[in-house]
Copies of this chain bind each other. A is one copy, B any other.
Amino acid sequence: MTATADPAAGGDGAGVPRRPRVVVIGAGHAGLEIARGLRREDVDVLVVDRHNYHTFQPLLYQVATAGLQPGDIAQPVRHILQRYRNVGFRLGEVVGVDLRARNLALADGTQEAYDWLVVAAGATTTFFGVPGADEFALPLKTLANAIEIRRRVLAAFEQADRARMATPGAAVPPGLTTVAVVGGGATGVETAGAFAELFDRVLVHDYPGLDFSQARVIVIEAGEGLLDAYRPHIGEYARRTLERRRVEFRFGAGVTRVDEHGVELSSGERLPAATVVWAAGVRAHPLGEILGVGVTRGGCVAVDDTLQVPGHPEVMVIGDLAGAAAPDGTLYPQVAQVAIQQGRLAARQIRRALRGLDPLPFRYRDLGNMATVGRNAAVLQTPGGRTLTGFIAWVGWLFVHVINLVGLRNRLQVMVSWLYNYLTYDRGPRLIFPPSPADGARKDPMQ
């Protein structure tokens, strides 16, 4: 497992040819494409991830709002890779990369040598240094995040109901039944729409004693409108649709502080909210800094148009962590389609190198954008700028997301859940889990 200087001509000390070893960091959309693209090549591929499952991030907001179960959008990486005989998996976290020795260090103290390294570690959340945000606001990037948001909202409703019962007639502390969503992009819009429906279609029946005029969903957006990746009338449509569903807005307002009772805005307004979802501020995974090469906007790794790290052609960075520039100089957006297409190209670069061919530049084929606003309502925009809103766009959104889910089982489960939710106006299991002492129950080691 020692690294060689020339991957294509790999061999060990005894001169016996050795299969080149490709290590892929991250089992997201980008990382899985590499494994698929190299499945028939004469290389050994090792995928390393901190989780033993691939998360389908576009549907995380549905787990956070109790529409789907966590396992519906997670697929074990080993299950996905089973069919590729030359691809292995390693559960662990990369804490160091020695570019000279071509070696990774993992958190458990072990090391992995590589001939090619493809870094697809993705993005994480930045709180822009807003005081209290990292402690009290909840990001929505991982399964654990989504489960914690669900738990926090439901536990706050229980607390409100407890307060109502303890002192009948008295007002429930404000904000307990409020969710503040920071960020009016696609994640913020989808999350707000799903919470509005959860409140008005489901929780209103779960908590008949609570005053649901106090159950608020508030989107806070520093810009002047929603969905700024789309044409302006699309953002307008989303805003009108959400407003009809009782979502409130604060535009042109930055968050200056988050604490356990809510948020403070740059306008001076204070919004009480037991749950603050942070759907703003994506930044590259810290692995970008660990690599010790040049970085661009938000900690992304500066790469050539071939996705290779300058000076290290055997290292590629792809997906949300890659700071690859389009021919016009702008960086590609941090979306799934870019990650998937870069994953395909990275696999192709290695296949070409094995055949002695030069790498190709990355060319992004924009397939357009889509987002749901809620039941029967979605928005869609083609690369050419054509747009569609409403029911047909919503059906299209459902279709595209079911197709892109990884695994037959997950597709079946999600379809059953969506059909059930649509027909009954009910949601999935609204579990307060794992239970926490703050929910009114002691931790009991006996059960």
Q: Which residues of A contact B (CB under 8 A)?
A: 50-53, 69-72, 74-76, 78-79, 82, 85, 88, 90-93, 95, 106-108, 110, 124-125, 134, 139, 141-145, 154, 158, 161-162, 165-166, 205-209, 286, 408-410, 412-413, 416-417, 420, 424, 426, 428-435, 439-442, 444-447
Contact = CB atoms under 8 A, between A and B. Distances in A.
A93 to B, nearest CB: 4
A51 to B, nearest CB: 6
A275 to B, nearest CB: 16
A94 to B, nearest CB: 10
B442 A107 contact: yes
This chain's copy number in the assembly: 2
A36 to B, nearest CB: 17
Contacts of A53: 429-433
Listed residue (A85, A209, A409) with the most chain B CB atoms within 10 angstroms of its CB: A409
Given A69-B71, A93-B441, A106-B440, A420 B431 contact: no
B433 A408 contact: no
Given A426-B409, A439-B91, A74 B431 contact: yes
Contacts of A139: 447
A165 B91 CA distance: 12
A435 B90 CA distance: 14
Given A78-B207, A91-B439, 8 more contacts: A69-B413, A71-B428, A82-B206, A108-B162, A141-B447, A286-B446, A408-B420, A416-B416
A159 to B, nearest CB: 9
A413 B417 contact: yes
Given A53-B431, A430-B76, A209 B88 contact: yes
A46 B370 CA distance: 45
A71 to B, nearest CB: 4
A92 B441 contact: yes
26 contacts: A50-B444, A51-B433, A52-B439, A53-B430, A69-B69, A69-B71, A69-B72, A71-B429, A76-B206, A78-B430, A79-B426, A88-B209, A90-B162, A91-B158, A91-B441, A93-B440, A93-B444, A108-B162, A110-B166, A124-B447, A141-B447, A144-B447, A409-B417, A409-B420, A409-B428, A413-B416
A432 B52 CA distance: 6
Given A69-B71, A71-B431, A429-B53, A162 B91 contact: yes
Nearest to A165: B90
A110 B52 contact: no
Contact of A95 (B145, B434, B442): B442
B430 A125 contact: no
Given A91-B439, A141-B447, A70 B431 contact: yes
B430 A79 contact: yes
A264 to B, nearest CB: 23
Contact of A154 (B52, B143, B428, B435): B52
Nearest to A55: B431
Counting chain B CB atoms within 10 Å of each CB, which of A82, A143, A441 scores highest? A441
A44 B210 CA distance: 17
Given A413-B413, A420-B408, A78 B165 contact: no
B440 A91 contact: yes
Nearest to A151: B52
A65 to B, nearest CB: 14
A286 B444 CA distance: 11
Nearest to A121: B447
Given A107-B440, A286-B446, A446-B125, A52 B431 contact: yes
B435 A144 contact: yes
Contacts of A447: 50, 124-125, 139, 141-142, 144-145
Contacts of A446: 124-125, 286
Contacts of A78: 206-207, 430
Nearest to A76: B430
Report which residue of A71, A416, A435 has the largest number of chain B beta carbons within 10 angstroms of its beta carbon: A71
Between A144, A412, A429, A431, the greatest number of chain B beta carbons within 10 A of the residue's beta carbon is seen for A429
Contact of A205 (B70, B82, B91, B134): B82
A74 B428 CA distance: 10
